[in-house]
Amino acid sequence: MQEKLVQQLKASIREQLDLDSAMSDEDFMTCIEQKVFQWSLEHPLTAGEKVKLVRRLYHAFRGLDILQPLLEDDTVTEIMVNSHDEIFVERTGRMSKLELAFENRERLEDLIQAIVASVNRVVNESMPIVDARLLDGSRVHIVLPPIALKGPAMTIRKFPVKPLLMEDLIARGALSQEAAHLLRRLVEAKYNIFISGGTGSGKTTFLNALSQFIPQDERLVTIEDSAELQIRSIPNLVSLETRNANTEGKGEITIRSLIRASLRMRPSRIIVGEVRGAEALDMLQAMNTGHDGSLSTGHGNSARDMMARLETMVLSAADLPVVVVRQQIGSAIDIVVHLSRLRDRSRRVTEIAAMQGVVEGVIVLTPLYQFEEWGEEEGRVLGSLRSTGNELTRKWKLQMAGISLAEEEEAS
C-alpha cells in the first residue's frame, strides 16, 4: 500500500476528527471505515485493500503505527528501531531490515512518549534511557538522543501470548526429558535456582517454565525492572515492578528496595527477574534467610562465570571480604542452569550444575548435565544434554520435602 496515500488520509482524519475526545475505539474505527469508504468511491479499492487501509490508519492513531502489524505477527520475536527510518526485526532467530519507516522523527518520538506514559514512566534528554512494557507484556527498551546518535532508538522484545511449558522446551530440543524431571523435583523441593545466559538466550522463558513447577498453595512474590514474567499457575501471586525517578530526581523504587519490601509480605518464594548490580546482595540474603525455592537470572558466559559476576555485583553493594561474599553465594544458591544461543540460533540448556560450596576459598560447582554436540545437519547443531554421572549435592532438601532419593532417581 502506498505510504503517500496513508499520509494523505491521516492528515484528512486529523482535520475532521477530534482526536483528543473520549471517543471509544469502536466509534473511532467506524469513523475511519466511513472515511476510507468515501475515498474509495472515487479511487476504487478491493475489499482486501480497504481492510488493510482501515487497520493501517487505525493503528496510526490508536496503536503502534507501522509497528503494530509486527507485534501481531507471531513469527516476529524482536523489533529493533535504530531510527525513524531504520527498522530491523528478528524472525526465527534471523535478523532482517524492513522497507518501513515512520513518516518523520517526531512521529517516533510521540509514539515513544505514549508508550512510557502508559506505564507511568518518563524519558527525556535528562533521563534518556528507560525500560518499559506494552499492554501485551512485551518488553521495551528506549534510548533517546543525545545518547542515541541516529535519533530515538527502541527495542521491543516480544513474548508468546501463551507461556511456553517445559514440555514445549523439551519438544524444541532445549533440554532433555531426564533433565526436566530433575529440575521439577528440585523446584518442588525448594532448591534455590539461578539461571544464567547471554542476551536472548531464553532466560525469562525458562524461568517462566520453571515457575510452573511451584506448588499452587504457596505465596509467590516476583520482582522485576519491567514486568515480563507470565506466571499463571500460582493464585497467591504479588508482582512488583521498579519505578524510575521523576523529573526532579525523586521517587525512584529500586529492585533492592523491592526485595526488602517483599520480605515483609510473607512470601514462600521470591523470584527476582534479573540481577544486574547491587541488588544481588539482597537477593542472596533473602535466599539465606528462610526463603528457599527462590529463583533468579543473570547475564553470564557460563555457570562458573556467573558466580564470578555475582561476586562483583555483591562487592559493588558492600565492602565485604571476598571470602565472605563467596560463602554467601555458596550457601544461598543450590543449582545453576546455564542457557546458550548456539550458532544455529537455537536456544539450549548447555549446563546444569550443583553448588558444592566454597572449597579452599573458591566456589566449586559440580556439573550434573552438560550439552554434548556431535555434528551438524542442514545448518542445525546436533547434540543433547547428557548426564555427567556426578551426584546431586544437598540431597537433604529432597528429604525435607518428602521426596525420597528413589523417587528422584526414578523421575530422572
The phi and psi torsions of 169 (rounded to 5 degrees) equal: -65, -35
Q: List, for residues 132-154, the tens digit of each pLDDT value.
A: 888 888 889 999 999 999 999 99
This model's pTM is above 0.85: no
Architecture of domain 166-411: 3-Layer(aba) Sandwich (3.40)
Concatenated DSSP letters of 275-304:
--STHHHHHHHHHTTT-TT-EEEEE-SSHH
Would you identify the CATH topology of the domain 64-158? Answer: Beta-Lactamase (3.30.450)
Length of the chain (residues): 412
Domain with CATH 3.30.450.370 in the chain: 64-158
CB atoms within 10 A of CB 188: 17
Rg over CA atoms, the chain:
25
Residues 54-75: tens digit of each pLDDT: 777 777 777 788 898 898 888 8
d(CA 2, CA 111): 22
- What's the pLDDT at 411? 43
Q: Which residues pair with 347 in a beta bridge?
A: 341
Proportion of the chain above pLDDT 70, given as a percent: 92
**Burial readout 53-78 (b: 16 or more C-beta within 10 A, e: otherwise):** bbbbbbbbeebbbbbbbbbeeeebbb
Domain with CATH 3.40.50.300 in the chain: 166-411
Instruction: Identify whether the C-beta of residue 374 lies closer than 8 Å to the C-beta of residue 361.
Output: no
The Cα 354–Cα 333 span in angstroms is 9
Nearest-angstrom CA–CA distance, 50 and 144: 36
Question: What's the grid cell of residue 206?
Answer: 525458562
Q: What is the mean pLDDT of each run of 10 residues along the chain (412 residues)?
A: 64 63 70 76 74 76 83 91 95 87 90 89 89 86 94 91 89 93 95 94 93 94 88 93 80 91 93 92 89 94 95 93 95 96 91 95 95 88 92 89 61 42
Question: Which residues have CB under 8 Å from 193's CB, separation 6+?
Answer: 183, 186, 187, 210, 295, 333, 334, 335, 336, 337
